[in-house]
Structure 1
Amino acid sequence: MEVRDGDTIRFAPKYISETFTVDRITDDRVEFSATDDQPSPLRGWVGGTGTVETGDIHVDFDRPDDERVILKFSPRRDE
């Protein structure tokens, strides 16, 4: 899904993860926060492309060009 500053994704109740928010998009990174069953949100950033796992959600980041940020959400991959 294509995202913009301030977008919040809410997950179904069956997941530990509750929300994933795109806090800010700059030229070189995407800043985010995520909430789950922990008392404080996870905050971080990804520069360019990459992945993040929070709670039980896996997030793939893609920046096909300077204008767009695409996130793909899936259940966390247990290894």
Structure 2
Amino acid sequence: MMKETFADPIDRASAEQEALLQAQLKAARDTAARAPKLLYTGKCYNCQEPLDDPDRFCDKYCTEDYEKLQRAKSPAYRRLE
């Protein structure tokens, strides 16, 4: 097997950047796959309103609010402050 050669440092940097991006995407997919799933409780996870269907939130605004609160609770978010 022959080692790949690059014409210049820009080609090498581009290949390294692409490899890093692919590794980050894989890590993000793996993290998302391990994330806990919300179980059906019969109530909206944000406002606690009863739900007839097996939904987790009553509307998109409750979904957005819940996601914002979860991000604010994460250690990664607190490091940015």
- TM-score when normalising by structure 2: 0.22
Looking at secondary structure, tell me which structure has more helix per residue. 2
Of Structure 1 and Structure 2, the greater strand share is in 1
